[in-house]
Chain A
Amino acid sequence: NAGVTQTPKFRVLKTGQSMTLLCAQDMNHEYMYWYRQDPGMGLRLIHYSVGEGTTAKGEVPDGYNVSRLKKQNFLLGLESAAPSQTSVYFCASAGVGRENGFFGPGTRLTVL
C-alpha cells in the first residue's frame, strides 16, 4: 500500500513550456486534491475532484488544468509555465468521510 505518490519529485521548466504532474493513490479514495505551497502562504487549493470524471476549481486555478480519467489518478497540467508557478505541489486524497487528506510527498517545480 503506497498511499499517495507523485511524479516527478523535482522538475525545472523554462517559461512557456508545458508539463503534467501525476498523482496516484491506491486507497480507492473518491476525493483528490491539488495544492500549491509557497513560503508564508500555507497551502492553497488549485483544483479538486470528487470522483472519477469530475473536476472543480479551487482557490488558485488560473494557469492550471486537471483531469481525473481514472479513479486512482489525478493529473495537474501546466500548459504554458510561468515563473509565478514556481512552487511545491502537493496532491492529497480522501475517503468518503472526507475527514482529512492523505498527502503525497510533493513535487518541487521551478520555472525559469
Chain B
Amino acid sequence: AQSVTQLGSHVSVSEGALVLLRCNYSSSVPPYLFWYVQYPNQGLQLLLKYTTGATLVKGINGFEAEFKKSETSFHLTKPSAHMSDAAEYFCAVSDQAGTALIFGKGTTLSVSS
C-alpha cells in the first residue's frame, strides 16, 4: 500500500528565506508524486508533479522538488519565500495503475515579514 508522510505539520520562515517542506513516500511500484497548494477557503492547486524522466521538477510560483528514489523523498523547496506563499501544502502519491491520489496530512507554511 502506498503512503505519504509529511514531516512537520507547521513550518515558519521569514520572507526571503529558503522554504523546505519535506515529503517521504512509500510505494511498491515506481510512484507518481505531486505537490498541491491550498489557500484558505479554496480548492487544491497543482504546484508540480513527477512522473518519469528528470528527477528535478520545476513548478509554478518558483517552487521545485527533487525525486530521490534512494531516500524515498520528494521535498519541496523555494529559494526565497514570499508572503503570498503562506498556505497549506499537500504531498501526494499514486502508482502508474493507481486508483487515486494518496495524500499526506499537509504542512502549513507561515511567512513572516
Contacts and interface: CB of A to CB of B under 8 A. Distances in A.
Nearest to A32: B100
B73 interface: no
Contacts, number: 52
Nearest to A102: B46
Given A41-B105, A42-B106, A58-B100, A90 B51 contact: no
Interface in B92-113: 94, 97-106
* Best-buried of B43, B49, B94, B105 by chain A (most CB within 10 Å): B43
B105 A100 contact: no
User: Size class of B's contact patch?
Assistant: 20 to 34
B103 A106 contact: no
Interface in B77-103: 90, 94, 97-103
A43 B94 contact: no
A43 B105 CA distance: 7
A103 interface: yes
Given A42-B104, A105-B42, A48 B32 contact: no
A101 interface: yes
A111 interface: no
A108 to B, nearest CB: 8
A43 B103 contact: yes
A14 interface: no
